[in-house]
Amino acid sequence: MPEWLVILLLIVAKLGLIFMVLLTLAAYLVLAERKILGRIQLRPGPNRVGPFGTMQPWADLIKLLTKEDFIPAQADRWLFMLAPGLAAVTALLTFAVVPFGPPLSLFGHQVPLVVCDLNIGVLFFLGLSSLAVYGMALGGWASNSKYSLLGAIRGLSQLISYELSMGLALVPVVMLARSFSLTDIVMAQSAVPFALVNPLAFLIFLISAVAESKRIPFDLPEAENELVGGFHTEYSGMRFGLFFVAEYLNLIILGSMLTVFFLGGWMGPFLPGVVWFSIKVLFVCFFFIWVRGTLPRLRYDQLMHFGWKILLPLSLLNVILTGAFLLWRQG
């Protein structure tokens, strides 16, 4: 086989594998969330479809696919149809830069376990997470409904506010690793994960990540007891399903980002790197579900005050402190 064909096949195999794993994981994360929330609220959760309810995601999929695809009158038809796709694509694309294991030797080739090791990987993640807003905003606007519009406006302002502190929480990480590449950032944590080196940045990133995922306690864009369903009120069938899948894909992405930036990525004793990476990501996802089962929703003004008056100044201060610490260590 010629050289380029091997490389091409490896890339296609990696892409296919990531697609399969991510989409299946997102579907089963929905089940896990319903199960865990059920246990937290002292009820069994879904347990009728298949053994212990394990076939529930497939039943949900069939239900969503066979529902009517409804488009409201006076809606902007094309934008309405495109918006869920935008939300899902931006979530999927982010995984292109996530390194999920140490380089592997296959057919005499060094295969890095990442689709594309960009030297500006951190910026790629931030760029895509800021583009992820469009799916929600355009969907909410195109529906031509008051609830959708309100949800979209809330979502826009929330995501813009918390993206700032999320980006600023990453600045110390980049300063410590001296690189924008995610692989280099993981390599820099071979001794101590950055969560222990800089716990404040870890905390800020964690809170901002929960806010970015639009989940309780920050689920104001889709607060169901005020806004019906928020930005996806008017969606039905598989278009709603895409928004739903995008939300869980986002959860996995944020979990893997948290793992890469602060928990040491694939680093860990005894087990192979990919296993450690999966364990850490799933643990972060479990934490997100746990938070959802524990905390009440914030009020809108509390959300804004917390973001702009506490989180943002703290993250700025943290950048300065980290810079001072690095200078002091250099002598």
Partner 1 sequence: MATLLFYILGAVAVAATAMAVTRRNPVHAVIYLVNSFFALALIFYLLGAPMVAALEVIIYAGAIMVLFLFIIMMLELSPGEDADRQGPVPLQWLPVLLLGAAILGCTLLLLQLDPAAGQQLPRWYASPRDFGYTLFHEYALAVEIVSFQLLFAAVGAFYVGRAAGTKEPLGGER
Q: Which residues bind partner 1 (CB under 8 A)?
A: 73-79, 118-120, 123-124, 126-127, 130-131, 133-134, 137-138, 140-142, 144, 149, 152-153, 156-157, 159-160, 163, 180, 299, 301
Minimal distance, residue 265 CB to partner 1, in Å = 20
Beta bridge partners of 111: 104
Q: Give the shortest CB-274-to-partner 1 separation in angstroms.
A: 26
**Closest CB 129 distance from partner 1, rounded Å:** 8
Provide the minimum distance between the beta carbon of 250 and partner 1 in the complex, in angstroms, as a whole number: 15
> Between 142 and 249, whose beta carbon lies closer to partner 1?
142
Nearer to partner 1, 64 or 82 (CB): 82
Q: How far is the CB of 138 from partner 1 (least distance, A)?
A: 7
**Nearer to partner 1 among residue 113 and residue 150 (C-beta):** 150
User: Alpha helices of the chain — where are they, by DSSP H?
Assistant: 3-40, 56-66, 77-93, 121-131, 133-142, 146-177, 182-187, 194-197, 199-212, 224-227, 237-262, 273-294, 300-305, 312-330
- How many C-beta atoms lie closer than 10 Å to residue 279's C-beta? 14
- When the beta carbons of 67 and 297 are compared against partner 1, the nearer one is 297
Helix (H) or strand (E) holding 111: strand 109-111
In order, the DSSP letters of 43-55 are S--S-SSSGGGTT
Residue 45 CB: number of other CB atoms within 10 A?
Answer: 18
Least distance to partner 1 from the beta carbon of 261, Å? Answer: 16
Closest by CA position to 129, among listed 149, 99, 159? 159
Helix (H, G, I), strand (E, B) or coil at 76: coil
- In the bound state with partner 1, the residue whose beta carbon lies nearer, of 54 and 130, is 130
User: Closer CB to partner 1, residue 48 or residue 309?
Assistant: 309
| Complex with partner 1: residue 195 or 246, whichever CB lies closer | 246
Report the amino acid identity of residue 183: T
Sort 285 into a burial class: Cβ within 10 Å, 0-12 / 13-18 / 19+: buried
Q: Which CB atom, from 135 or from 273, has the smaller least distance to partner 1? A: 135
**CB 118, min distance to partner 1, A:** 8
Question: Are 68 and 225 contacting, i.e. CB atoms less than 8 angstroms apart?
Answer: no
Rounded to whole angstroms, what are the CA distances from 322 to 168, 266, 279, 307? 12, 24, 29, 21
Place of tokens 């993981």: 186
Q: Rounded to the nearest whole angstrom, what is the least distance from the CB of residue 90 to partner 1 in the complex?
A: 10
